Amino acid sequence: MLPLSLLRTAQNHPMLVELKNGETYNGHLVSCDNWMNINLREVICTSRDGDKFWRMPECYIRGSTIKYLRIPDEVIDMVKEETVVKNRGRGDMKGGRGGQNQRNRPAARGNFGGRGGKAGGQGGRNPHLKKNLNHNK
Amino acid sequence: MASGGEKREKNNPSGDQKEKKRKESILDLSKYLEKTIRVKFAGGREASGILKGYDPLLNLVLDNTSEYLRDPDDPYKLTDDTRELGLVVCRGTSVVLICPMDGMESIQNPFIAQD
Amino acid sequence: MASGLDSFVNHTVSIITSDGRNFIGTLKGFDQTINVILDESHERVYSTTTGVEQVMLGLHIIRGDNVALIGLIDEDVDNRLNLANIKAEPLNPVVH
């Protein structure tokens, strides 16, 4: 499965994006492209030390500045259904580009549904967010 | 340039259309023309200004631009100070983030509130 | 375009990112730029004072730019680790 196929499938889902500069953005993915540039809506931006917060109605983020994206667990199953068929001809890099015949289920709002998971675990640079994500289950 | 239409992908999930869409930008800057936008740059600078023009490489022309000055000890920490830059061209390659100033607000920790 | 990562797909891997963090999870996919999909992931946070803390994270896409190392985890060996007793300095970020 290609990361960008997963990302495309995650459109209309909530996600957390951490940039290389340490800032994090929580919002719904509106659109993305092959460079991983993304548009988010209903965004909350958290400063790198987790002490300042901004709300923004929407924002555009250049893909090359992204460190990672956290995507709701259920999204990966939605990709499988789409790409299993396409991937039968593996070896062809375009095989997984998928996203075709995309089923659009309603977004699981505000739910990152950590599978299992210890609540309140801390670490990294953004304890507030991690905590929040765990709580959201 | 891009139209806002491609964002509504959920309405046309057909593969062909997606293939086409991917060729164009997902960002439609025309909707921000003559509006104040916030721009973050690689390296940590941040500015806001009225969008006067742009190109597909994300080079921007901003007017009445203010740069948000940063803590000298931590180049990623903003202070309340600004400096006025007036009319500027922003190099697209260093643009990290664009958002409209309208509706952007500093808020209290929204994650604690949910606890 | 074999990158050698093919054999890691659907196995548990350890990823060290250039900010010095350590993620463990199932490698579900990757691309030319080593963007990776990590499923059911957790972060291991190392400390010299307490044992290793595991933070559950779930599904991730990690951008290739940020990946320093991907290692296959031997789950038998890994399960035998007593993480609570392991104390270690956190890794420093890569200096660019």
Count of other CB atoms within 10 angstroms of residue A123:
21
Q: Rounded CA gap, A9 and A78, in Å? A: 7
Average pLDDT over residues B70-90: 87
Q: Which residues of C touch A2 (CB under 8 A)?
A: 29-31
- For chain A, give every domain's residue range: 3-135
**Confidence at residue C94, expressed as pLDDT on a 0 to 100 scale:** 86
B108 contacts A53? CB cut-off 8 A: yes
Q: Are A54 and B104 in contact (CB under 8 A)?
A: yes
Nearest CB among A63, A124, A133 relative to C21 is that of A124
Touch of C by A (3+ CB pairs closer than 8 Å):
yes
Residue type present at position C33: T
Query: Which residues have C-beta within 8 Å of that of residue A127, sequence separation ≥ 6?
Result: A50
As for the ipTM of the complex, it is 0.88
Please tell me whether the overall predicted TM-score, pTM, comes out greater than 0.95 for this model: no
Task: Look at residue C93 and tell me if it is in a domain.
Answer: no
Q: Rounded CA gap, C38 and C60, in Å? A: 5
Nearest CB among A38, A54, A99 relative to B106 is that of A54
**Confidence at residue B102, expressed as pLDDT on a 0 to 100 scale:** 94
Task: Count the domains in chain B.
Answer: 1
A124 contacts C66? CB cut-off 8 A: no
**Confidence at residue C95, expressed as pLDDT on a 0 to 100 scale:** 81
Task: Look at residue B14 and tell me if it is in a domain.
Answer: no
Give the closest-approach CA distance of B89 to chain A in angstroms: 18
Give CA separation, C40 vs A130, B52, C58, in Å.
15, 45, 4
Give CA separation, A20 vs A111, B7, B41, C20, C41, in Å.
24, 25, 12, 12, 20
pLDDT per position as a tens digit, A23-76: 999 999 999 999 999 999 999 999 988 989 999 999 999 999 999 999 999 999
**Confidence at residue B113, expressed as pLDDT on a 0 to 100 scale:** 56
Task: Look at residue B83 and tell me if it is in a domain.
Answer: yes
pLDDT: which is higher, A88 or A98:
A88
**Mean confidence (pLDDT) of chain B:** 82
Residue A125 has pLDDT above 70, yes or no: no
Query: What angle (nearest 5°) sits at the alpha carbon of residue A34, between those of residues A103 and B4?
Result: 70
Task: Count the domains in chain C.
Answer: 1
**Confidence at residue C1, expressed as pLDDT on a 0 to 100 scale:** 54
**Confidence at residue A84, expressed as pLDDT on a 0 to 100 scale:** 46
Task: Look at residue C92 and tell me if it is in a domain.
Answer: no
A22 contacts B76? CB cut-off 8 A: yes
Q: Residue C15 belongs to a domain with what CATH number?
A: 2.30.30.100
Q: Which residues of A touch C63 (CB under 8 A)?
A: 36, 63, 66-68
Give the closest-approach CA distance of A136 to chain B in angstroms: 9
The residue segments making up the domain with residue C54 are 6-79
Task: Look at residue C56 and tell me if it is in a domain.
Answer: yes
Task: Look at residue C33 and tell me if it is in a domain.
Answer: yes
pLDDT band for B76, please (50, 70, 90 cuts). Answer: confident
Average pLDDT over residues B34-50: 95
A44 contacts B107? CB cut-off 8 A: yes
Q: Are A72 and A111 in contact (CB under 8 A)?
A: yes
pLDDT band for B112, please (50, 70, 90 cuts). Answer: confident
**Confidence at residue B111, expressed as pLDDT on a 0 to 100 scale:** 87
A7 contacts C61? CB cut-off 8 A: yes
- The phi and psi torsions of A127 (rounded to 5 degrees) equal -55, -35
The residue segments making up the domain with residue B42 are 35-102
The chain A residue lying nearest C56, using CA atoms, is A117
A33 contacts B108? CB cut-off 8 A: no
Q: How many CA atoms lie within 13 A of A43 on its CB side?
A: 30
Q: Which residues of A touch C8 (CB under 8 A)?
A: none
**Confidence at residue B79, expressed as pLDDT on a 0 to 100 scale:** 82
Q: Does domain A3-135 have CATH number 2.30.30.100?
A: yes
C19 contacts A76? CB cut-off 8 A: no
Long-range Cβ contacts of B48-52 (<8 Å, 24+ apart): B48/B101, B49/B85, B49/B88, B52/B87
Q: Residue B86 belongs to a domain with what CATH number?
A: 2.30.30.100
Give CA separation, A121 vs A64, A117, B114, C78, C91, in Å.
29, 9, 17, 20, 19
A122 contacts C32? CB cut-off 8 A: no
Query: Which residues have C-beta within 8 Å of that of residue A88, sequence separation ≥ 6?
Result: none
Residue A115 has pLDDT above 70, yes or no: no
Task: Look at residue C86 and tell me if it is in a domain.
Answer: no
Q: Spell out the per-residue pLDDT of chain C, length 96, in tens.
A: 566 899 999 999 999 999 999 999 999 999 999 999 999 999 999 999 988 999 999 999 999 999 999 999 999 999 999 888 889 999 999 887
**Confidence at residue A93, expressed as pLDDT on a 0 to 100 scale:** 47
